[in-house]
């Protein structure tokens, strides 16, 4: 299947220039293409993942992707999707973020010879102001720049000359990559269409009107209810395991709605059409089994984190579902309960009733005794059966934690201070 046909089947194309020419080009040769990301933060989130998974699909068909870390453009700030000016970061912070993003990409895609990492600071920082104005600024009519949606939407509130010129810098990136590496396709989000086509226009002014360069954008990702994809009550779903644990990441995918799961299987996994069609049928005929959601969670967690992280996430999920947390490791306990309600306690061992009240998990001894008598309290995964039981740390926590469950689902993590 031609890569354009595959992306079309996956619903991964929003717009492209000269579809037939691009399809013919990718049939005739293995092309170079690129997508960029600015290091305005120290981690990618799953919204960033979509265009880069497109690059991976090109790579799997033998094409050569370039991932551009925007060490130069990140110093300016892309106005796309913003209503106000971006606060500029120090060059030191941008460099630090760039290194972290490169490490994430290397983990995701491997340090493969078929994928090349570059930083646009390397060429943008070498352009003098006079060269910028004479060689590039002269090719951008102001009326065309003002008509770009990203600029037009900001005119009333105001946009600085700095952010106004971002589209020129992105065009310079494309021209540089075309001239040096024969990059013929830029991939980006739907909001990048104006910037990418601006780059095509500039390249054709510089190299000739028939220069074979193309644009391809992905759709804005929305859930079936029309809300923005990739957000939870706690915020964005990050790829950094310190910001979003593999367990939380796995749960995000596991809890997707039936109306969305097939779309996400097409976007975020490398499963074949036959495999996805079979899972789509399972959604229709046996939705209660949630086979598609489980496969989605498995595939994406394995890809973004690792097989080991996936196994830990599955262990935690199984333990919480059945209430059997006694055998979880210290690391699994931290993932499972790190963002649940917590209390601080001393390492003094006490009988369970006094311990529950002193830790503020219960407000009265009467209620604590009643719940224990009714079998509604478990500690470290084991049901409390005696009012005289002594509370001790979870056996795998190195003396750090006690995990209390009231009823079926209400957990509290007690952190023990020495």
Distance CA 37, CA 120 (A): 10
Residues 6+ apart with CB under 8 A from 380: 325, 326, 392, 393, 394, 395, 402, 403
- Biggest distance spanned by C-alpha atoms of the chain: 86
Q: How many CB atoms lie within 10 A of CB 366?
A: 11
CA distance 254 to 265: 12
How many angstroms separate the CA atoms of 92 and 107, rounded?
23
What distance in Å separates the CA atoms of residue 163 and residue 19, rounded to the nearest whole number? 31
Contact between 47 and 230 under an 8 Å Cβ cutoff? The reply is yes
The 3 state secondary structure assigned to 72-112 is CHHHCCCCCCCCCCCCCCCHHHHHHHHHHHHHHHHHHHCCC
313 contacts 249 by C-beta, under 8 angstroms? yes
- At what angle are helices 291-304 and 307-322 packed, to 10 degrees? 140
170 appears as a binding residue in the annotation: yes
- The answer to whether 401 is a known ligand-binding residue is no
Q: Which helix (H) or strand (E) holds 15?
A: strand 15-16
Q: Is 256 annotated as a binding residue?
A: no
Was 66 annotated as part of a binding site? no
Alpha carbons 103 and 91: distance in angstroms, whole number? 18
Beta bridge partners of 405: 378, 411
What is the rounded distance in angstroms from the CA atom of residue 117 to the CA atom of residue 109?
11
Annotated binding site for ATP: 231
Binding-site entries for L-tyrosine: 34, 166, 170
- Residue numbers in the known binding site are 34, 166, 170, 231
């Amino acid at each position: 299947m031609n890569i354009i046909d595959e992306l079309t089947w996956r619903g991964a194309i929003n717009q492209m220039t000269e579809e037939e020419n691009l399809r013919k080009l990718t049939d005739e040769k293995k092309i170079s293409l690129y997508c960029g990301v600015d290091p305005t933060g120290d981690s990618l989130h799953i919204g960033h993942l979509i265009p880069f998974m497109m690059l991976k699909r090109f790579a799997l068909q033998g094409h050569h992707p370039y991932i551009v870390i925007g060490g130069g453009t990140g110093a300016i700030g892309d106005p796309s999707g913003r209503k106000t000016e971006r606060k500029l970061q120090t060059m030191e912070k941008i460099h630090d973020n760039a290194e972290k993003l490169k490490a994430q990409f290397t983990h995701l895609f491997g340090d493969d010879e078929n994928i090349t990492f570059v930083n646009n600071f390397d060429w943008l920082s070498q352009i003098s102001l006079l060269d910028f104005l004479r060689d590039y600024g002269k090719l951008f009519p102001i009326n065309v720049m003002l008509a770009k949606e990203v600029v037009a939407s900001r005119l009333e509130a105001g946009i600085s000359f700095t952010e106004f010129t971002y589209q020129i810098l992105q065009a310079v990136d494309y021209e540089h990559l075309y001239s040096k590496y024969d990059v013929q396709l830029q991939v980006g989000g739907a909001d990048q269409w104006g910037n990418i086509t601006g780059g095509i226009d500039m390249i054709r002014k510089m190299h000739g009107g028939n220069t074979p360069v193309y644009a391809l954008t992905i759709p804005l990702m929305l859930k079936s209810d029309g809300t923005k994809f990739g957000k939870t009550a706690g915020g964005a779903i990050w790829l950094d395991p310190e910001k979003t644990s593999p367990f939380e990441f796995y749960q995000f995918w596991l809890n997707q709605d039936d109306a969305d799961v097939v779309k996400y299987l097409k976007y975020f996994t490398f499963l074949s059409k036959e495999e996805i069609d079979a899972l789509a049928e399972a959604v229709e005929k046996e939705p209660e089994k949630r086979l598609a959601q489980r496969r989605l969670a498995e595939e994406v967690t394995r890809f973004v984190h690792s097989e080991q992280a996936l196994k830990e996430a599955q262990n935690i999920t199984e333990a919480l579902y059945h209430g059997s947390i006694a055998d979880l490791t210290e690391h699994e306990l931290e993932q499972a309960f790190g963002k649940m309600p917590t209390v601080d306690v001393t390492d003094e061992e006490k009988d369970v009733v006094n311990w529950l009240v002193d830790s503020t998990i219960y407000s009265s001894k009467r209620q604590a005794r009643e719940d224990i008598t009714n079998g509604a309290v478990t500690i470290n995964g084991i049901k409390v059966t005696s009012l005289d039981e002594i509370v001790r740390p979870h056996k795998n926590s190195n003396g750090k934690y006690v995990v209390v469950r009231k009823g079926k689902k209400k957990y509290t993590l007690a952190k023990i201070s020495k």
